Amino acid sequence: MGNIFDKCKGKEKEWTQPQPDPSKLPKVNIPPPESGKQYLDWSKSLAMTPQEVYAPTSLKELHRLLETNDHVSIVASGHSSSEIWRNGTVITLDEMQPREIRDVSTTGDFSRVEIPAWMTLREVLVLLGKQGRSLTATGGTDEQQIGGLIATNTAPATKERVIYESIEEIKYTTKEKPDNVANSTASLKALICNMGILGVVTSVTWKTIPDEGYRVIQRIKKVDELVELMAHGQNFVNNEDGDNTKEYAFWRFDWIPDRDFALLWAAREVNTVSDPNYLPNGDYTADYKEPFSMHIYEFIAKGTAPKSPFLDKAMSAIFDAMERVYELETKQNTFYGPLRNMLPVDRFSNENVYCAMAEWAFHPKQIKEVVDLYRKYFSEHEWPNLPIEIEYVKSDGYYMSPWNSDSIGEAIGEATEFLVKINTMWYIPSKAEGPGIRPQVENHAKGIWIVLKENNIPFKAHWGKINFTSPEDAIKLYDFDAFSPKIQQQFVNSYINTRLPNRK
């Protein structure tokens, strides 16, 4: 460990956070699929070679393509660790126009906006930020297109807010009708987390909020202490001088593999006028690489790259070094900035770190038992070579949402307004090796899935991440009967067919 930690010494300046103008953010660069060429998803662990790829530039062209193709999938930035998007014929919306937010408020202050579904979250947050506005919360990756974010129900790390709660209307296109509008409670419950099989989302009308200021900290804490907070539905309270008694409403932690410590991430509101530490541009770095944690990870990992998706001695030593750096560099790990870029969102491209994810949600009452099962399973087998991310997620009422807690609450006899989400992640050694390594990752994930089932733990999985959901699960855990009538068979691929019940 000493030699690896020595690599960190004297490098603090490389990890400082200069404050450029966020309006100069680079454009998202996720190449769309091409006909006859291999296409990898965001995780770089799934591949397909589509026979036909279409890139419409208008709603009229999009509808014509749906009318003339029987089976098709929409690729919305490829942000998925599952095969939800795989098909022989695909449509990419990268060329769709216009790419601008439309102010539809009555006051002219962007408090209500209509957003094209092919814009990325990064574009949206930056443009809203120029107007002093933001969304209620963020999550996932900022390179994800809004349509993909809606389809897979990407969730933020808080039990108080959810990014979709202020959506008023979703427009979408199907073969039969180019101008569908979902604006009732029932229709929105189907369209949010639509899994890409109800139609092509074309725009979303959202209420926005002022771009609040936040203080963000990253600290090393004991896993069991953080799990205890989640079991009782409590937020993190910092006990550092000058910040004691302050409650952090947004927080999550990365459980460092095979040890009793975790990297805590937490955010709380600050006054943007009176707080002298507040920075209007937040923690975007000058070269827009990954945040501090991944910057250290990549720096130390040079020359010791993992050869498998499982923890080895070299990777374990890297985490030892990272743990010490975080403990020593407290000031480096305290940031101030606006909501648009301080709340949990993977703000940068996934060019250097390829990973697959299994994101499953549990009742907080059972989270200590669940963590013990994870710990026992991985200790007896192998640990993933990336930290396991654990966070709150506010419950919702969407039909196919993994964050709809009704069935989980019924299963254990106690309703809950929030769930605890465990996101298990595996680093994929290289882009070229990803598809070959994927079976190892799936076998590893399936092992803990089976353990949870054997221990009668009710839980739900994110459709866009690794999961082994069965048709029986879809009936038992989701509101499939309400969702089913809206399914457009045109978008259903073999992956979806193995997970959803037969439809008449």
| Arithmetic mean of pLDDT, 283-296 | 50
Who's near 71: CB < 8 A, 6+ residues apart?
Answer: 87, 88, 89, 490, 491, 493
Predicted confidence (pLDDT) per residue in 47-103, tens digit = 999 999 999 999 999 999 999 999 999 998 777 889 999 999 999 999 999 999 999
Q: Each residue of 126-157: pLDDT tens digit?
A: 888 889 898 887 655 677 899 999 998 987 66
Do the beta carbons of residue 444 and residue 310 sit within 8 Å?
yes
In Å, how far are 110, 112, 269, 276, 339 from 210, measured between CA atoms? 10, 11, 12, 19, 9
Of 144, 192, 198, 92, nearest to 404 by C-alpha is 192
Please state, in angstroms and rounded to a whole number, the distance separating the CA atoms of residues 361 and 86.
25
Closest to 143 (Cα-Cα) out of 79, 189, 70: 79
Is the pLDDT score of 352 beyond 80?
no
**Quick check: 290 pLDDT over 50?**
no
pTM tops 0.85: yes
Closest among 169, 184, 261 to 220, alpha carbons compared: 261
**Residue whose entry in the numeric block shows the structure tokens 């733990």:** 457
**311 and 257 in contact (C-beta within 8 Å)?**
yes
Which residue has 């254990």 as its token pair? Answer: 412
Residues 28 and 39: their CA atoms lie apart, in Å, by 17
Summarised one tens digit per residue, pLDDT across range 213-224 is: 888 888 999 999
Query: Which CA distances in Å does 417 have to 33, 83, 86, 344, 501?
Result: 40, 30, 34, 20, 28
8 A C-beta contact, residue 428 and residue 436: no
DSSP 412-434: HT---SEEEEEEEEEEES-TTTH
Cα gap 342→319, rounded to integer Å: 24
Q: What is the pLDDT of residue 289?
A: 41
For residues 491 and 493, give the distance between their C-alpha atoms in angstroms, rounded to a whole number. 6
Range list of β-strands (E), 197-260? 200-207, 209-210, 213-222, 236-238, 246-248, 250-255
For residues 69 and 85, the answer to whether their CB atoms sit within 8 Å is: no
User: At residue 163, does pLDDT exceed 90?
Assistant: no
Cis omega before residue 98 (within 30°)?
A: yes
